[in-house]
């Protein structure tokens, strides 16, 4: 539950407007009740109110470009240059862009459509696991601490692969992810997530806690013995 996670979404109302104080960047970093694509054996959605507790505590949230603080901050809640709130749609933010090279570059890139995505970094404090009508696992984040919002060029929920998983879970798959598996392993195939390691569909699974390899060997041995029995009967 204390692992850093990142989620990337398609730009929603992401825009830069000119105000009396300078350029204002605004948009939704997260949208409620919006199912993701396959994130490695499960899909995910953010429940309305998931950020209520966090936002009530006036958290220190940074606005970044590509989640990279080394480039410099675009804004910060503790300084008042970033405002983050929750509405009926999702997690919305407003950032007073600085008159810096980074701030100007971000404004131009958003106007051009080069930066066409948003993202947020969070710690999940509580989630629920369920299944859809087809039996596929769904993770619903119901309580989370936000630590950054970012503008990004990354496509929304790019194809699931090791690279994406490392970006989404830089500190490793959260403990809740493994807890969803009744057998305690962290294999990411849908069968293992559902607790059916004996039917594991990941042929390259090497999780020491997963029983899939032994089960496959047992099934193979049983099939060989059955063929021999039929041959000599």
Would you kindly state where each structural domain of the chain is located, as residue ranges? Answer: 4-174, 181-233
Question: pTM of whole model > 0.75?
Answer: no
| Mean pLDDT to the nearest integer, 138-152 | 93
Q: 93: closest CA among 104, 80, 84, 102?
A: 84
Give the pLDDT confidence score for residue 73 in this predicted structure: 93
Higher pLDDT, 207 or 47: 47
| Inter-residue contact 12 to 118 (CB < 8 Å) | yes
Q: For residue 35, name the pLDDT band (cuts at 50, 70, 90).
A: confident
Cα–Cα distance between 193 and 189 in angstroms, integer?
Answer: 6
Give the pLDDT confidence score for residue 145 in this predicted structure: 96
Q: What Cα–Cα distance (Å) separates residue 214 from each residue in 145, 205, 211, 228?
A: 40, 11, 6, 21
Give the pLDDT confidence score for residue 189 in this predicted structure: 59
If you average pLDDT over every residue of the chain, what do you get?
79
pLDDT tens digits, 103-123: 999 999 999 888 888 888 899
Question: Quick check: 138 pLDDT over 70?
Answer: yes
Q: Which residues contact 58 (CB under 8 A, 6 or more apart)?
A: 77
């Amino acid at each position: 539950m204390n692992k850093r996670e990142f989620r990337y979404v398609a730009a929603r109302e992401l825009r830069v407007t000119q105000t009396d104080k300078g350029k204002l960047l605004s948009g939704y970093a997260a949208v409620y009740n919006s199912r993701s694509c396959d994130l490695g054996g499960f899909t995910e959605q953010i429940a309305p109110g998931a950020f209520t507790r966090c936002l009530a505590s006036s958290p220190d949230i940074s606005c970044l470009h590509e989640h990279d603080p080394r480039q410099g901050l675009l804004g910060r809640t503790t300084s008042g240059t970033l405002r983050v709130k929750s509405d009926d749609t999702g997690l919305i933010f407003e950032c007073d862009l600085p008159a810096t090279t980074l701030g100007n570059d971000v404004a131009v890139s958003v106007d051009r459509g080069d930066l066409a995505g948003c993202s947020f970094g969070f710690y999940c404090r509580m989630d629920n696991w369920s299944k859809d009508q087809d039996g596929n696992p769904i993770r619903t984040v119901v309580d989370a601490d936000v630590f950054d919002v970012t503008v990004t060029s990354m496509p929304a929920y790019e194809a699931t692969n090791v690279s994406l998983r490392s970006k989404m879970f830089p500190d490793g798959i959260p403990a809740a992810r493994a807890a969803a598996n009744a057998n305690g392993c962290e294999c990411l195939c849908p069968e293992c997530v559902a607790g059916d390691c004996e039917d594991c569909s990941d042929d390259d699974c090497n999780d020491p806690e997963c029983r899939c390899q032994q089960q496959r060997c047992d099934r193979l041995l049983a099939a060989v013995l059955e063929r021999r029995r039929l041959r000599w009967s």
